[in-house]
Structure 1
Amino acid sequence: MTTITWQSVQAEALRRIRSREWPPGAQIPHEADLATELGCARATVNRALRDLASAGLLDRKRKAGTRVPLNPVRKATFDIPIIRLDVQARGLPYTYRLLHQTTAAPPPDVAQRLMLPGDTPMIHILALHLAANAPFCLEDRWINPAATPHITTADLSEISANEWLVQNAAFTAGDVALSAIAAPPATAHHLNCPPGAPLFTVDRTTWAGATPITCVRLCYAPGHQMQAKI
């Protein structure tokens, strides 16, 4: 007897979407009905449809059922990269310098983004990541120690806050903004570029439930190219 897997259920659902058996805007059968039709457990159907909804190919609403969206949009997922591995993947030797570490109240914009009182004590990190001894990325980060108390004893001169947090702080949500900025004088100094040079910049916050973990700005040296898969 062949076991019906969630992958096979997902493949069948994709076939029905692409063949327009389930046309755009149509409500698809209930999970229990699909499970009976396909000869599998309802949990198997749920797993398959959940993945398709995460990918933007189905629209699931509680009590309203599941529909094929009129205008499906593929949803992107974003993995937080370890900068050391990014450098090494380019075939370059990696080094790291901790430029500054202190505990202080965050600036108002950081406190607002993390929805914390302005006087909340946070760890401020400024670090430079290098590729083949040339500046690669300047990391300007604020960390909420209430979310990651073990970081207060971590030696961030040996491991970057970027890498430590990826390894030790499980996040459930966040936001990412990608932009180009003109290099401020202090940033230009660290990245060894002219003030005003265009810099690829990543602004990111991460959260564990309702607790903010960190707010970081990563400024990359001129000419940086970000690669991603879709």
Structure 2
Amino acid sequence: MNMPTFRNWRSVQEEVRRRIHSRKWAPGDLIPNEADLAIEFGCARSTVNRALRSLADSGVLDRKRKAGTRVAAEPVAKATLDIAVIRHEVEEHGAKYGYLLIKRSQTTPPVSVSGAMKTRASEALLHVQALHLSDDTPYAVEDRWINTNVVPEAKLESFEKLSANEWLMKHAPYTHGDIGFSAVQATAEHAEMLNVSQGSALFAIDRLTWDSSASVTMVRLLFTPGYQLRTAL
């Protein structure tokens, strides 16, 4: 039987996945080294390297320097999370989107914010608070800090008509980020904004994005009761 042609790293990746799925390479097994796989697949070693790195990043393989590459004994399923534009999210549910800017100011943030964003404690950041609406009903509160040393153009944006959420997606590239999910009780301020009772359970998303080693923005999104977040594995 002729060996299929492996012209790029994705085709190599799919073949490795196939062998793992069929248990030709079982969990915990040491797989052939990159040089041997490159010869077997008839491709460059760099192509194999990229395929294996991608599988290691997704938790399928366990790569250790000088110890080789093994099929993960307990593969970790990783979810794919995109940074959503809230307007698109609302409109995809067939609702009319609305937006209201509550506050915009260049101010010194709390120590908890400057510490997380790795900025100087005395350094002013742009603080934007806004309310997103779905069919004229409160949908989410956006409470955001923007590092204007990294995104200086934000100083010129009023955010009166376009949310910081959407503006940053168009104007501020990022390399990676941290994200957290929690349930929090509505404060009096947030209860008034979202038209819910104080103490109501709200779904919170806390996100901090970076451009290499510099923080871009830190945001807390608070969603009304009943909000659901769905993703793919």
Give the TM-score, by structure 2 length: 0.93
Q: Which runs of 4+ in 1 moved over 4 A?
A: none
Is the deviation greater in 10-19 or in 127-136? 10-19
Correspondent of 1:130 among 122, 128, 133: 133
Q: Which amino acid aligns with 2:168?
A: L
User: Which runs of 5 or more structure 1 residues have no equivalent in the other structure?
Assistant: none
Three-state SS of the structure 1 residue aligned to 2:19 is: helix
- Following the alignment from structure 2 to structure 1, what is the Cα–Cα distance between the partners of residues 9 and 45? 10
Change (3 A) 1:62 1:157: farther
- Following the alignment from structure 1 to structure 2, what is the Cα–Cα distance between the partners of residues 180 and 196? 11
User: Which runs of 5 or more structure 2 residues have no equivalent in the other structure?
Assistant: none
Is the deviation greater in 157-166 or in 16-25? 16-25
Shift of 1:63: 4.2
Question: 1:25 aligns to what?
Answer: 28
Question: 1:184 aligns to what?
Answer: 187
Q: State how 1:68-217 maps to structure 2 within 5 Å.
A: 68-217=71-220
Three-state SS of the structure 1 residue aligned to 2:142 is: strand
Shift of 1:28: 1.7
Q: Deviations over 1:139-185 (max 9, x none)?
A: 00011101111111123112110011111111112111111111000
Shift of 1:54: 2.2
Question: 2:46 aligns to what?
Answer: 43
State the percentage of identical aligned residues: 47
Q: Deviations over 1:68-122 (max 9, x none)?
A: 1111111223211000000000000101111100001111211121122221110
Give the TM-score, by structure 1 length: 0.94
Shift of 1:31: 1.5
- Matched pairs, number: 230
Three-state SS of the structure 2 residue aligned to 1:46 is: helix
Question: 1:13 aligns to what?
Answer: 16
RMSD across aligned positions (CA)? 1.6
Q: Which amino acid aligns with 2:43?
A: C
Correspondent of 1:54 among 57, 61, 69: 57
Three-state SS of the structure 2 residue aligned to 1:199 is: strand
Three-state SS of the structure 2 residue aligned to 1:124 is: strand
Three-state SS of the structure 1 residue aligned to 2:231 is: coil
Tell whether the 8 Å contact from 1:54 to 1:75 is kept in structure 2 after alignment: no
Three-state SS of the structure 1 residue aligned to 2:25 is: coil
Three-state SS of the structure 2 residue aligned to 1:40 is: coil
Correspondent of 1:221 among 219, 224, 227: 224
